[in-house]
Structure 1
Amino acid sequence: MKPHSLPYVDTHTAVLMAGPDAVWRAIGEVMDRSSDGAARYAELVGCADRKASGPRPFAEGSTIPGFTVTTVVPGRELVLTGRHRFARYALVFRLEQHGPGRTRVSAETRAAFPGWSGMLYRLLVVSSGGHAGGMRRLLRAIGRRAK
C-alpha cells in the first residue's frame, strides 16, 4: 500500500527538546510499548498485523499491532501502514532538526474508510476527536521518552 495514495486525515506536530536520534529512538520505543493495548484493539477490529515482529530498531517489514513498517529513513522518516475491517491507513512520522537539541516531529495520518461500516468507524474514531486526542498523547509520550 502506498501511503500517499490514501486520503489525507490530519497532521499533528510537536517541537521536542531532544535531537533527532533521541526522538527517533523514542518513537520506536513508544510504539513498541503501546503494543499490549494495541494488540487487543487490533484483534477486535480485525487488523492484518496483530503482534510485534521483526527487527528492532524498526526495519522495513517489522510489525507492531495494527501496523507494518513500510519505510525507514533513520532519524528522518518512519512510515507505518495497516488495514482492518473498517479502514486502510498510514501513519507517517517525519523528523526535522529545529535548532540545537530540538526536533520537530510530525505525525501525518492518511486513511480510507470504505463502505457504510467505514463511514461509521470514521465518525466514531476521527470525527469524534478520539483520533486527535490519541495522536496528541502519542507525541507527548514520545517527547517524555526522548529526554
Structure 2
Amino acid sequence: MEIDALPYLDEHSTVVAAGTDDLWRGLGEVLDRSAARPGASGYARLVGCADRTVSGPRPFAEGSTVPGFRVTAAVPGSELVLRGRHRFSSYALIFRVERVGPDRSRLRAESRAAFPGAAGGAYRRLVVGTGGHARGMRRLLASVARQAERGDGPSAT
C-alpha cells in the first residue's frame, strides 16, 4: 500500500531552538536510542512487524531499519519517511524538518495508518483511542528537541 493511500491519522509539530542540521542529527539519535530500548525488538516480534532489528546505514538512508520501521526516503535535513506493517496495521511516519528562523527549526511528524479487520480495529482503539499514540508522539518530539538543542554541530542556514 502506497503512503498516500494510507489514511491520515494525525500530525504533531514543535519548534526547536536549533538549526536544521542539529535537528536532523537529533532525530536520528533519538530514533536509534528508542530502538535500542529493552523491549523494542520484542514488541516488534510480538505483533509480527516486518522489520524487527536495527540495520542499515547511519545517518538514516533508504533501507535503514529500526524495530517496526524501514526508511523508505531520507532527504538529510529535510524529510525522513518510515514505513512499517504488522498483523494489525500498515503505517507510515513522515518527519519533516523546516527552517523557521536563525537557529530555529520546526519538526513535524505526520502519522498515517490502516487498521484492517476486527483485530485491526481493536488495536486502533487500544493505541489511538486511548491517546497513547498522541502522548508517545509528543514525548518523541520533545526528546528530539532536547537532543537537537544540545547539538554540537554547525547549524544550517
Cα deviation for residue 18 of structure 1 reads: 0.5
The runs of at least 4 aligned residues of structure 1 exceeding 2 Å deviation read none
2:72 is aligned to 70
Secondary structure in 2 aligned to 1:48? coil
The one-letter code of the counterpart of 2:27 is: I
1:90-115 CA-partner distances (Å, limit 9, x unpaired): 00000110111010110000000000
Looking at structure 2, the residues matched to 4 and 15 of structure 1 have their Cα atoms a distance apart, in angstroms, of 26
Looking at structure 2, the residues matched to 82 and 142 of structure 1 have their Cα atoms a distance apart, in angstroms, of 21
Secondary structure in 2 aligned to 1:53? coil
Cα deviation for residue 9 of structure 1 reads: 0.2
1:10 is aligned to 10
Secondary structure in 2 aligned to 1:56? coil
Cα deviation for residue 2 of structure 1 reads: 2.3
Secondary structure in 1 aligned to 2:56? coil
1:33 is aligned to 33
Looking at structure 1, the residues matched to 26 and 43 of structure 2 have their Cα atoms a distance apart, in angstroms, of 22
Cα deviation for residue 3 of structure 1 reads: 1.5
The one-letter code of the counterpart of 1:15 is: V
2:86 is aligned to 84
Identity value in percent: 63
Looking at structure 1, the residues matched to 40 and 118 of structure 2 have their Cα atoms a distance apart, in angstroms, of 24
2:155 is aligned to none
Cα deviation for residue 4 of structure 1 reads: 1.6
Q: Which stretches in structure 2 are left out of the alignment for 5+ residues?
A: 150-157
CA RMSD of aligned residues (A): 0.8
Cα deviation for residue 40 of structure 1 reads: 2.0
Cα deviation for residue 38 of structure 1 reads: 2.0
The one-letter code of the counterpart of 1:23 is: L
Map 1:54-65 → 2, pairs under 5 A: 54-65=56-67
1:30-88 CA-partner distances (Å, limit 9, x unpaired): 00001133212111111000000000001100000000000011101000000000000
Secondary structure in 2 aligned to 1:15? strand
Looking at structure 1, the residues matched to 144 and 41 of structure 2 have their Cα atoms a distance apart, in angstroms, of 20
Q: Which stretches in structure 1 are left out of the alignment for 5+ residues?
A: none
Looking at structure 2, the residues matched to 39 and 4 of structure 1 have their Cα atoms a distance apart, in angstroms, of 27
